Amino acid sequence: MIERIDTGQRMSKIVKHNGVVYLCGQVGDGPTVTEQTVDCLARIEALLEKAGSSPVRILQAIIWLADMADFDEMNAVWDAWVLEGAAPARACGEARLARDALKVEIIITAVYGV
């Protein structure tokens, strides 16, 4: 069974299937990469909680930066957020994001349930 949560015409914020939760790409508010990453991770935590999961259950993270020059700044926030021993598989690359003001977008796959 596939469960879709917060579904709109274009996408669902959360899709659950066979013990895996898929989150739509998350972005954050603020003028800096630091602020956007902090906000983005808070949104991810809220969605994971709504899906019955948590940050320690993340399997994979795909991170898009508008500019790879922001890699270290984003990583400073990421490294403080990820609990030791719970780092997911991760990829990070540069991409043109949906709006010029966006600096970071994170896509998460995690497990939920037992």
Name the pLDDT band for 113 (thresholds 50, 70, 90): confident
Domains and CATH numbers, the chain: 2-111 (3.30.1330.40)
Torsion of CA 74, 80, 82, 83, to 10 degrees: 170
Q: Which residue has the tokens 């939760």?
A: 21
Helix (H, G, I), strand (E, B) or coil at 47: helix
**Residues 3-48: tens digit of each pLDDT:** 999 999 999 999 999 999 999 999 999 999 999 999 999 999 999 9
Are the CB atoms for 90 and 79 separated by under 8 Å? no
Q: Which residues contact 98 (CB under 8 A, 6 or more apart)?
A: 27, 105
This prediction has a pTM of 0.96
